[in-house]
Amino acid sequence: MNKIMVGIIMGSDSDLEVMNGAVEILNELDITCEVSILSAHRTPQHTVQYVEDAAARGLRVIIAGAGAAAHLAGVAAAHTPLPVIGVPIKSGAMEGMDSLYSTVQMPPGIPVATVGINGAKNAGILAAQIIGSVDLSVRQKIENYKEKLAAKVEEKNNRLQKLGIESFLEQK
């Protein structure tokens, strides 16, 4: 099977715990990824080189996570034709709101799809959905994943209806 790659980049090793959510869901969906620590501010040349070469290396989507100033996703989007998904990381006094605004507020022509604060798992799912728009095997994996999610909700609702609120909460 021809594996499709997703590049996962983050501004600091402190972002790795959050960004691992994307790695885990991509692994579950059998989509390979590469993970790198790059900084829009501390290693700008390396970051630009990485994203400029991404498509030639076979990447199809880039997921960029950063906290504080959070310019990584925007810098990536400015230097590649690939879709970029930004993951604002909760950090500092603003609890991630600064990261969210820095990631989502891009100028016209440089879009960054942005998930919620610390939403790396959703970024991985969105990357898979983007790939699945042209790869039927990946699309089928996404459909199966979402069917499993629905089945879990139905199972919980059935338990709630059978047990009632108090018993359900006691068993939770």
Range of the domain at 46: 5-134
CATH code at 67?
3.40.50.1970
Domain shared by 83 and 166, yes or no: no
- What is the maximum span of the chain, computed from C-alpha positions, in angstroms? 59
Closest CA to 77 of 9, 5, 3, 4: 9
Structure token digits, residue 146: 């979402």
pLDDT number for residue 1: 44
Domain shared by 156 and 97, yes or no: no
pLDDT number for residue 2: 54
pTM for the whole structure:
0.93
How many C-beta atoms lie closer than 10 Å to residue 38's C-beta?
A: 23
CA–CA gap between residue 131 and residue 63 (Å, rounded): 13
Domain count, the chain: 2
The length of the chain in residues reads: 172
pLDDT number for residue 68: 83
Mean pLDDT per 10-residue segment, the chain (172 residues): 82 96 97 96 96 96 91 97 97 89 94 98 98 96 98 97 96 88
| Contact between 127 and 26 (Cβ < 8 Å) | yes
Domain shared by 140 and 130, yes or no: no
| Residue 50 CB contacts under 8 Å (≥ 6 apart), including other chains | 7, 9, 36, 38
Domain shared by 101 and 119, yes or no: yes
How many C-beta atoms lie closer than 10 Å to residue 110's C-beta?
A: 14
Give the HSE-up count for residue 78: Cα atoms under 13 Å, Cβ half-sphere. 12
Domain shared by 128 and 166, yes or no: no
Strand 5-10 to strand 59-67: parallel, antiparallel, or no bridges (unpaired)?
parallel
Domain shared by 27 and 102, yes or no: yes
Where would I find the H helices in the chain?
16-28, 44-53, 72-78, 97-104, 120-132, 136-163, 165-171
